[in-house]
A and B are shown apart, each in its own frame.
Chain A
Amino acid sequence: MARTEAFFDTGLRADGRDPSQLRKISCKVGAFKQADGSAYIEQGKTKILATVYGPQEIRGGKSKVLHDRALINCQFSMAVFCTSERRNRPRGDRKTMELNSMLQQTYEAAIRVELFPRSQIDIFVEVLQADGGVASAAINAATLALIDAGVPMKDYVCACSAAMVDDFPFLDLSHLEEIVVGSMVTFACLPRSKQIVLSEMSGRLHLDYLDKVMDAALKGCEDVFHIMDSIVRSQVAHMAAAMG
């Protein structure tokens, strides 16, 4: 018991948040000019950059062409300096491969791929700094980049992590918290239709807690949605004003 008590003995989490409070989210849509779409997001100390190229011609072999829909190609990298302890390489290890396929599956479900047969959409995600919730922040960043690129999607894809600490669901865990809690879930959903497009779990969580933690995570996704939506709207309004 001692450990939970230790980081929850004032009724606030170690960094001063409520159990259901997200970390501060800041983002910038259209961070780079070269790409078709790009976005940068900060969730607490987790900093992620996403760029989108396409829809465009299939690169490389024709063998990859899909006749009824677009090919989604993801590359997930974690900069060697993104963690406190330096990583050996930016990609190709198990963790990034896992996140890569997670990203791919999520967006295959969310992008209206059927509109772009025989073409390719690239989603590149670069983690500049990792402090917990890398998977969810990466998804949020990619969503913004896709919006920036004007790629048609069913809805925003919003993601949030959560874990059970005693009987409290904690949302959006920092790296320190991720280490302490036994298991963590990450959910991504389409907030308007309430469809879950990603559910990922680490460690062992008893089935009885799943509902509770899922509800919390989905609530977190919704909060993320409102934040992202208002940022997108204000930036679009800003741009429109600049264009006259």
Chain B
Amino acid sequence: MTLSEGEKKYILDSVNDDCRIDGRQRNNYRLMQVETDVIDHANGSARLRIGETEVLVCVKAELETPKPETPDRGAIQFFIDCSANASPQFAGRGGNELASDIQSCLDRAFSSPSVLDYTALCVERGHFSWTLFVDILILQCGGNLYDAVSLGVKAALYNTVIAKVAVKFLADNKPEVEVSSDPSKGFKLDVTNVPCFMTFLRIGNHCVLDPSLEEESCGQGSLVVGITVQGIVTHVRKVGPGSFHPTSMEDALNTANAIGPLIHMQLLSKLKEETADKRGFLR
């Protein structure tokens, strides 16, 4: 999105005054909406909206042979598709760069063993473990994609049910799995420690949270902070052009520590409040 100088100035001033163009304060998020179970074929799915940003996240669990270096663990893999629906700019290969940026951020955030109990995903040591394929489809870009994606991922993992399987050993010690067809016997993941991202966008001398598309276009650098429900910072990454002063970085981390848990709680309470009346995209 291209803005005129006047518009940019207006946004800059509004941030300075702590009253952003849509009326929010610098640390305020836009309205978050989440709905799970929107894709029946998937083990877990969630459609998450923050303002005009909208993502669809699906989790499919596939049985695979665990990597030799981690024989007793499952794995998680991310794939992001920036759909042309979100913007004609994404048509063809247009969205690939953005997608790989977000993907590497997610990979980093989930590489810590404390994020998910990967051993719970192991079915039979050295033979079978679940790999969670987390596929993210960007449907609308209204700014702050990182945060929306991470929240969507957490919601979809929360919603995930994995089939109950048992392992039998055949002759020559070859294992084989048996699957229980009943979904009610499947197991769910513990997503307590799954972090979410908080993006701080520097506009002038201040950082704003959850920037809109307009704000993003006059930002001077953003900082993506991974944060858990306990307020623990899991990682920090500066993305895009621009620079940060160490003090503003410190401020940002402090803010993340204070607000991060609230965002997590907000998401969880929305997930728990979800009603059985699911209409998905027809809503």
Contact = CB atoms under 8 A, between A and B. Distances in A.
Assess A/B contact in the complex (Cβ within 8 A): yes
Interface of A: 26-28, 31-35, 38, 40, 42, 45, 47, 49-51, 53, 59, 73, 75, 77, 79-84, 86, 90, 122, 124, 126, 128-129, 131
A129 B41 contact: yes
A84 B83 CA distance: 20
A86 B281 contact: no
B65 to A, nearest CB: 17
B85 A126 contact: yes
B79 A126 contact: no
Contacts of B85: 32, 35, 38, 49-51, 124, 126
B52 A81 contact: no
B58 A79 contact: yes
Contacts of A73: 91
A169 B64 CA distance: 41
Contact of B281 (A31, A79, A80): A31
Contacts of B236: none
B62 A86 contact: yes
Contact of A86 (B38, B54, B60): B60
21 contacts: A28-B281, A32-B54, A32-B85, A32-B140, A35-B85, A42-B282, A45-B40, A47-B280, A49-B281, A59-B88, A75-B91, A79-B56, A80-B79, A80-B81, A82-B39, A82-B41, A83-B41, A84-B41, A86-B62, A124-B83, A126-B137
B135 interface: yes
B42 interface: yes
A80 B137 CA distance: 9
A81 to B, nearest CB: 4
Nearest to A88: B79
Nearest to A79: B137
Contacts of B41: 45, 81-84, 129, 131
A40 B280 CA distance: 10
B201 to A, nearest CB: 20
Nearest to A56: B88
Interface string B46-68: 00000010101010101000000
Q: Which of B52, B79, B280, B281 has the most CB of A within 10 A?
A: B281
A153 to B, nearest CB: 20
B83 A81 contact: no
A32 B133 CA distance: 27
Nearest to B61: A86
Contact of A90 (B81, B280, B282): B81
A49 B60 contact: no
Q: Which of A84, A124, A131 has the most CB of B within 10 A?
A: A124
A77 B42 CA distance: 18
Nearest to A53: B88
Nearest to B81: A90
Contacts of B60: 81, 86
A81 B139 contact: no
A79 B86 CA distance: 14
B191 interface: no
A135 B56 CA distance: 22
A75 B92 contact: yes
Contacts of B135: 79-81, 86
Contacts of B42: 81
Nearest to A86: B60
Contacts of A50: 85
